[in-house]
Amino acid sequence: MPYFGQIYGNSSSAHWAGREAERAVENAREVMAGIFNCKPTEIVFTSGGTESDNLAVRGAAWTQRHKGRHLITTPVEHSAVGQTVSQLVARMDFESTVLPVDRHGQVDIEEFAGAIRTDTVLASVVYANNEVGTINPIPRLAEAAHERGVLFHTDAVQAAGQLTLDVQVLGVDMLSISAHKFYGPKGVGALFVREGIDLLPAQSGGNHEEGRRAGTLNTPGIVGMAKALELVYSELEARTAHYRRLRDRLVDGILSRVPGSHLTGHREQRSPSHASFVFEGVEGNMLLMHLDIKGIAASSASACKTGNPEPSGVLLAMGYTPELASSSLRLSVGKDTTDEDVDYAISAVSEVVEKLRRLG
């Protein structure tokens, strides 16, 4: 990684080192534009998914507010979208409709179209949910929004590296990603913003990123993100086939070996690497601790480092009881995961769930 050392220039600087950095950043932008099927100028580099979501939702809501103050979103958004919408409602006089979701966590296209009002200016619907993996019908939702002149943003953080990011296919106006979800570095992300859409920048300052995001660009992060994205999309089908095979082995193994276990989210229409479960009579936090000691890095929606777990809002919105919504587990497979890894995880989960139930 020369951009931490020899090529130390600021990509905004006019001298040779700056030019080298600028060239690297703009090459990265072109690579990503190829994958997004958009113009390089339609990509804004950010510090990650949260910043991308904030910039899209707050930035577009603010510039559209003269047209109307109604926003549409869902209860299964990442908090970067959910909290931003809440803030716009609580402090900036916006209104929001939070759409219901079905038991898989999916938004209904009719419900979505029905929620659009004359004063609706922006809709934001997650592409693939991070907790339960369910994929939303983004092209049809975006089309319905556009028929009524509503801007459409999707949080594609969980989808990136697994599903198409072709914004012409998806038909979205804005799309957020974060590099660490596809083997890129942590603390860097991007927002696609369709040409002609004006955003209020979240941070003001210099004229970086055509005035949409002030701040010195994270050259090594951006280069790493573009490379990681290029690698995964150059072999997307092979990778996702690998993910699907192992993921299905994991899901089938856990559902058959662990009594009182349930898959959450959609069985097929889900992010290929993603498996998520709830376990009757087990606390998610305890499950994670036991799996961690066994060398398995899992996550739980209700997990909390301060010992004060709350049931998952996503699972509650999908109709789960508070007790089950506190018992969630998310396991992902990766490019280097093997059949043996999956089988070990199945035995470990089975053993720990049984032990925790005995403990009461």
Partner 1 sequence: MMQRIVVAMSGGVDSSVAAALMVEQGYEVIGMMMRLWSEETASGGAHNRCCTPEQMNDARRIADKLRIPFYVLDTKDVFRRTVVQYFIDAHRDGLTPNPCLECNRHIRFDWLLNNALALDADYLATGHYARVDRVDGVFRLKKGLDDAKDQSYVLSVMGQNELSRVLFPVGEYEKPQVRELAVKFGLPTAGKQDSQDLCFLGDGNYRRFLSEHAPEIMVVGPIVRRDGTVIGEHAGLANYTIGQRKGLGVQAAEPLYVIGMNPLRNALIVGTADELGSSELIARRVNWVSGIMPESSFRAEVKIRYKAKPTPAWIEPLPDQRMRVTFDQPMRDITPGQGAVVYDGDVCLGGGIIERAAKVN
Active site residues: 304
C-beta separation of 291 from 300 below 8 A: no
Do 158 and 132 touch, CB atoms closer than 8 A? no
Residue 261 Cβ vs partner 1, minimum distance, rounded to whole Å: 19
Residue 355 interacts with partner 1 (CB under 8 A): yes or no = yes
**Given the rule CB under 8 A, which of 50-58, 166-174, 235-243, 302-310 is the region that contacts partner 1?**
302-310
Going by C-alpha positions, the residue among 35, 33, 28, 29 that lies closest to residue 233 is 35
Query: Which of the ranges 30-38, 92-100, 147-155, 279-287 carries the binding residues for partner 1, by CB under 8 A?
Result: 279-287
What is the C-alpha separation between 26 and 235, in angstroms, rounded? 23
Q: Which of 30, 235, 292, 323 binds partner 1 (CB under 8 A)?
A: 292
Long-range interactions of 354-359: CB distance < 8 A, separation 24+: 354/258, 355/290, 356/281, 356/282, 356/283, 356/286, 356/287, 356/290, 357/260, 357/281, 357/282
Distances (CA, A) of 302 to 186, 278, 280, 327, 329: 23, 11, 14, 7, 9
90 binds partner 1, rule: CB under 8 A = no
Q: Which stretch binds partner 1 (CB under 8 A): 54-62, 140-148, 248-256, 300-308?
A: 300-308
| Burial zone of 302 (CB within 10 Å; 0-12 exposed, 13-18 middle, 19+ buried) | buried
Considering beta carbons, is residue 232 or 303 the nearer one to partner 1?
303
Per CB under 8 A, 312 contacts partner 1: no
> Which of 189, 201, 309, 311 is close enough to bind partner 1 by CB under 8 A?
309
For residue 357, the minimal CB distance to partner 1 (Å) is 11
Q: Which CB sits closer to partner 1, 238 or 304? A: 304
Residue range at the interface with partner 1 (CB under 8 A); choices 49-57, 95-103, 177-185, 288-296: 288-296
Out of 91, 305, 336, 340, the residue judged to bind partner 1 by CB under 8 A? 305
Alpha-carbon gap, residue 319 to 240, rounded angstroms: 29
Q: Quick one: 137 or 313, whose CB is closer to partner 1?
A: 313
Minimum distance, C-beta of residue 359 to partner 1, in the bound complex (Å):
5
Burial of 294 (0-12, 13-18, 19+ CB in 10 A): middle
Chain residues that interact with partner 1, rule: CB under 8 A:
283, 285-286, 289-290, 292-293, 304-309, 355-356, 359
